[in-house]
C-alpha cells in the first residue's frame, strides 16, 4: 500500500511513522512534510503547500496512492476530500461540508443542539451592538469566539463585561463574522479523538494537552506544549457516556444532514466538577500534540483501521488494541513562541534521546543539506511510554535533556495534573 500524508507538523510525523510501521505500507509521501518525515525510511517529502489541494490531488494520482490521510483542518475545509473522492482516491478526512463541524462553530452548535449533545449555551452575532447587548445580560466570565478557523487565536475568555466588549470589537475588526458569545464552563478539559466511517464511531484513548505557554497553565495559548494519554480524568464510565450521549448522536446528526463523514471526530470536552461532559468544540482531524501520545500506544495497524473507515466497514473491524502504560509528550519550542522567534538553529541530540528509549516527533524542523535546523515555533515533541506517569515523566525529560538548539523553551511541568490524580 502507498499512502500520502498531508501536513508538516509533529502530528504528521507521528502519522507517517505509525503508518510505515504497518507491514502493508510500502511507501509514504508527506506533503509538505518536515525534517522528521524527510528522514523516515521509505518516505519522501513533496514541497507543496497544504492549501494547494489541486496539486496534492495530482501528486496522489501520479503516484497511484492507495490512501490519503489529511492532517490539518485547512485543506479539509477547502474541500480536499471532495476533490480526492471525485478522482476515486481513498481519503481519510471529511468533505468540505463535514469539515464545517470545525470550520464553523455556529454550524457545529446547531448540529449538536439538533442531536441533543450537551454544549455551552450561547448565541452567534453578526454585529457588535447586539453582541454587547447580549453580553450585558449575561454573567461573567464569558467566552467570545470567532466562528471560523482562527489557528487557535479566535477565542477570548473574558473575565469582565468590558473585556468581553473589547473581544467583540477585536474579532470583528480582525474580520471575523459571525462571532459567538458563550457561557463560561468550569472544569477540566479532555480530548476524545474518535474515528468514524460515517455510521460507526470508535473512540481512541483519551488524552489531555497543555495549551498555554507557561508552567502552571498560564500565559498565551499555543498549538500545544505537551500532552499525555490515557487521561486519568476519563474513567470508563465517562467514556461510555461520551460515546452514547455525544459521539454517536453527532455521527447520526451528520448522516441526517446527508453528510458522509469518514475521518476523525475529535471532541474537545469540558468535564464539570460533578463529572458532566459538555462539548467545547469539535475538530475534524487528529489533534496535535495529542496524536503524538495516542498513536504510539495504538497496537492495531493504523492503516488497517483507517481503511476500514474509508471503506465504511468499521462495524466489522475488531476492537482496537492498545499498549499498556502511559505516554507523555513534551514539546520543545523556539524561545519567543507563540510570539516572534528565530529560525535556522542547528538541532542536535535526537539520536542520543532516542537511544534512551523515547521517540522524537519533529514539527518545525527542516533539513539543510544534512544539517537539521529549526524552522518553526514548535520545533519537536519528545514522547516517552512507560508503565506509569511518574516513570514516563522522568524519562521524557531525560530525552528532552539530550536535545539541543539555541534558544529553546519547554515546560517542565507537563502532566502535573494527571500525576496528582495517579501514582
Ligand X SMILES: Nc1ncnc2c1ncn2[C@@H]1O[C@H](COP(=O)(O)OP(=O)(O)O)[C@@H](O)[C@H]1O
Nearest residue (CB) to ligand X, 75 versus 154: 154
**For ligand X, which residue of 1, 120, 128, 367 counts as binding (CB under 6 A)?**
120
101 binds ligand X (CB under 6 A): no
Distance CA 388, CA 392 (A): 6
Residue 28 is a binding residue for ligand X (CB under 6 A): no
Distances in whole angstroms, Cα of residue 18 to Cα of each of 50, 293, 320:
21, 12, 15
* Rg of the chain in Å (alpha carbons): 21
Give the DSSP letter of residue 55.
H
Of 196 and 222, nearer to Mg ion (C-beta) is: 222
Residue number, 152 or 357, with CB nearest to ligand X: 152
Query: Shortest Cβ distance from residue 102 to ligand X (Å)?
Result: 8
Closest approach of Mg ion to the CB of residue 268, in Å: 5
Contacts with Mg ion by CB under 5 A lie at 268
Give every CB contact of residue 162 below 8 A, 6+ residues apart in sequence.
Answer: none
Binding-site size for ligand X (CB under 6 A) equals: 15
In 3D space, the residue among 193, 280, 283, 267 whose CA is nearest the CA of residue 229 turns out to be 193
Site string for ligand X, 186-205 (x = CB under 6 A): ---x----------------
First vs last Cα of the chain: how many Å apart? Answer: 42
**CB within 8 A of 86, min separation 6: which ones?**
none
Q: Which cell numbers hold the place of 127? A: 454585529
Question: Which residues have a Cβ under 8 Å from the Cβ of 262 and sit 6 or more positions away?
Answer: 91, 92, 93, 94, 196, 197, 198, 309, 310, 312
User: Which 160-189 positions form the footprint of ligand X (CB under 6 A)?
Assistant: 182-185, 189
Residue (282 or 405) nearer to ligand X, CB: 282
Please report whether residue 50 would count as binding ligand X according to CB under 6 A: no
Among 20, 74, 143, 331, binds ligand X (CB under 6 A): 143
Contacts with ligand X, 218-247, as mask; x by CB under 6 A: ------------------------------
Least CB distance from residue 420 to ligand X, whole Å? 19
Interface characters, 265-294, with ligand X (x: CB under 6 A): ---x-----------xx-------------
b or e along 20-43 (b: 16 or more beta carbons within 10 Å of the residue's beta carbon)? bebeebeebbbbbbbbbbbbbeeb
Rule CB under 6 A: choose which of 9, 32, 154, 230 binds ligand X. Answer: 154
Choose from ligand X, Mg ion, none: what does 298 bind? Cβ within 5-8 Å by kind: none
- Strand boundaries in 230-377, DSSP class E: 263-271, 277-283, 326-334, 359-362, 365-368, 371-374
Nearer to Mg ion, 287 or 381 (CB): 287
C-alpha cell at 286: 487528529
Answer left, alpha or beta for residue 238, where phi above 0 means left and psi between -120 and 50 means alpha.
alpha
Smallest gap from Cβ 336 to ligand X, in A, equals 21
Choose the contact partner of 78 out of Mg ion, ligand X, none; CB within 5 to 8 A by kind: none
- Rounded to a whole number of angstroms, the minimum distance from the CB of residue 347 to Mg ion is 28
Minimum distance between the CB of residue 22 and ligand X, rounded to whole angstroms? 30
* Positions that interact with ligand X (CB under 6 A): 120, 143, 152, 154-155, 157, 182-185, 189, 211, 268, 280-281
Amino acid at each position: 500500500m502507498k499512502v500520502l500524508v498531508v501536513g508538516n507538523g509533529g502530528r504528521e510525523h507521528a502519522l507517517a511513522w505509525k503508518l510505515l510501521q504497518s507491514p502493508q505500507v510500502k511507501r509514504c509521501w508527506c506533503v509538505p512534510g518536515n525534517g522528521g518525515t524527510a528522514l523516515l525510511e521509505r518516505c519522501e517529502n513533496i514541497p507543496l503547500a497544504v492549501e494547494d489541494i489541486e496539486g496534492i490531488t495530482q501528486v496522489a494520482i501520479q503516484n497511484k496512492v492507495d490512501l490519503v490521510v489529511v492532517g490539518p483542518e485547512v485543506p479539509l475545509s477547502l474541500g480536499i476530500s471532495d476533490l480526492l473522492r471525485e478522482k476515486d482516491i481513498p481519503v481519510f478526512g471529511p468533505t468540505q461540508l463535514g469539515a464545517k463541524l470545525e470550520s464553523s462553530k455556529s454550524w457545529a452548535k446547531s448540529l449538536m443542539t439538533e442531536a441533543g449533545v450537551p454544549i455551552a449555551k450561547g448565541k452567534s452575532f453578526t454585529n457588535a451592538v447586539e453582541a454587547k447587548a447580549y453580553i450585558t445580560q449575561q454573567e461573567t466570565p464569558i467566552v467570545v469566539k470567532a466562528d471560523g478557523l482562527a489557528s487557535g487565536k479566535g477565542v477570548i475568555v473574558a473575565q469582565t463585561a468590558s473585556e468581553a466588549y473589547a473581544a467583540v470589537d477585536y474579532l470583528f475588526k480582525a474580520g471575523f463574522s459571525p462571532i459567538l458569545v458563550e457561557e463560561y464552563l468550569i472544569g477540566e478539559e479532555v480530548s476524545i479523538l474518535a474515528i468514524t466511517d460515517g455510521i460507526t464511531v470508535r473512540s481512541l484513548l483519551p488524552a489531555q494537552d497543555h495549551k498555554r505557554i507557561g508552567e502552571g497553565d498560564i500565559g498565551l495559548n499555543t498549538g500545544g506544549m505537551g500532552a499525555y494519554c490515557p487521561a486519568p480524568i476519563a474513567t470508563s464510565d465517562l467514556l461510555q457516556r461520551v460515546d452514547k450521549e455525544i459521539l454517536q448522536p453527532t455521527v447520526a446528526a451528520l448522516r441526517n444532514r446527508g453528510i458522509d463523514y469518514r475521518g476523525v471526530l475529535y471532541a474537545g470536552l469540558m468535564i464539570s466538577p460533578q463529572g458532566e461532559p459538555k462539548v467545547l468544540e469539535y475538530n475534524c482531524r487528529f489533534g496535535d500534540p495529542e496524536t503524538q501520545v495516542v498513536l504510539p500506544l495504538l497496537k492495531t495497524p493504523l492503516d488497517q483501521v483507517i481503511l476500514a473507515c474509508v471503506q465504511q466497514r468499521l462495524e466489522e473491524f475488531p476492537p482496537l488494541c492498545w499498549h499498556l502504560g502511559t505516554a507523555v509528550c513534551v514539546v520543545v519550542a523556539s524561545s519567543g513562541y507563540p510570539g516572534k522567534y528565530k529560525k535556522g538553529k542547528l538541532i542536535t541530540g535526537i539520536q542520543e534521546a532516542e537511544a534512551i528509549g523515547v521517540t522524537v516527533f519533529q514539527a518545525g524542523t527542516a533539513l539543510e543539506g544534512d544539517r537539521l535546523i529549526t524552522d518553526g515555533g514548535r520545533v519537536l515533541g519528545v514522547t516517552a511510554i512507560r508503565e506509569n506517569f511518574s516513570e514516563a515523566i522522568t524519562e521524557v525529560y531525560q530525552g528532552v535533556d539530550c536535545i539541543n538548539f539555541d534558544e529553546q523553551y519547554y515546560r517542565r511541568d507537563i502532566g502535573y495534573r494527571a500525576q496528582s490524580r495517579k501514582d
